[in-house]
Amino acid sequence: MLEYIKLYFQRKSVDKLIKEFNVVKVGNGYIDCIVPEKIDSFIDELTKIGVFVTDISWWCHCTLSNKKLYGCPHGMGGPQSDVYAGFFSELNYITEVHNGNKDAKRIIHEEIKKESWYSPCLVPGLWLSIDKYFLKRGRQ
């Protein structure tokens, strides 16, 4: 299939998944797709359509209860969502994913907890291979 046709269909499918999984999107592209829940299922759906996670940005989910529990916010300001309470505060950390979607899951569930700046309020913001930034950069 021609690359741009493939890309077109992948983006259509991801748009559907973003709605279905209540993903909080920052901007118009496919970087910083914040996934507060069902992260494993979301990544599995991406794998099925050949889309992979290239990087992960980290967002503090700043709610009243997280404020009390963890002292949020941990970063700068950020987006709100109709679905979730509070807002998402952007941290200055981005983790590169070099070995595909399985590696992304490992980072999200294990690696991140070893970081000095880790807090249970953090949720991942996925950068997807279908974003124009990735295509320009051309990293595998």
| CB of 126 closer than 8 Å to CB of 51 | no
> How far is Cα 56 from Cα 104, in angstroms, rounded to an integer?
8
Binding-site size for Zn ion (CB under 5 A) equals: 5
Residue 69 or 135: which CB sits closer to Zn ion?
69
Task: Find the shortest distance in angstroms from Cβ 119 to Zn ion.
Answer: 5
Structure-token pair, residue 114: 């070893």
The DSSP output letter for 114 is: G
Contact set for Zn ion, span 35-94 (CB under 5 A): 60, 70, 72, 74
Structure-token pair, residue 41: 């299922």
Choose the binding region for Zn ion from 95-103, 106-114, 116-124, 128-136 (rule: CB under 5 A).
116-124
Task: Find the shortest distance in angstroms from Cβ 77 to Zn ion.
Answer: 13
Told to check if 105 binds Zn ion by CB under 5 A, we report no
Residue 64 or 135: which CB sits closer to Zn ion?
64
| CB of 34 closer than 8 Å to CB of 79 | yes
Task: Find the shortest distance in angstroms from Cβ 35 to Zn ion.
Answer: 16
Identify residue 77 by its one-letter amino acid code: G
Distances (CA, A) of 72 to 21, 23, 64, 121, 124: 24, 21, 9, 8, 16
Told to check if 112 binds Zn ion by CB under 5 A, we report no
Told to check if 121 binds Zn ion by CB under 5 A, we report yes
Which residues form the interface with Zn ion (CB under 5 A)? 60, 70, 72, 74, 121
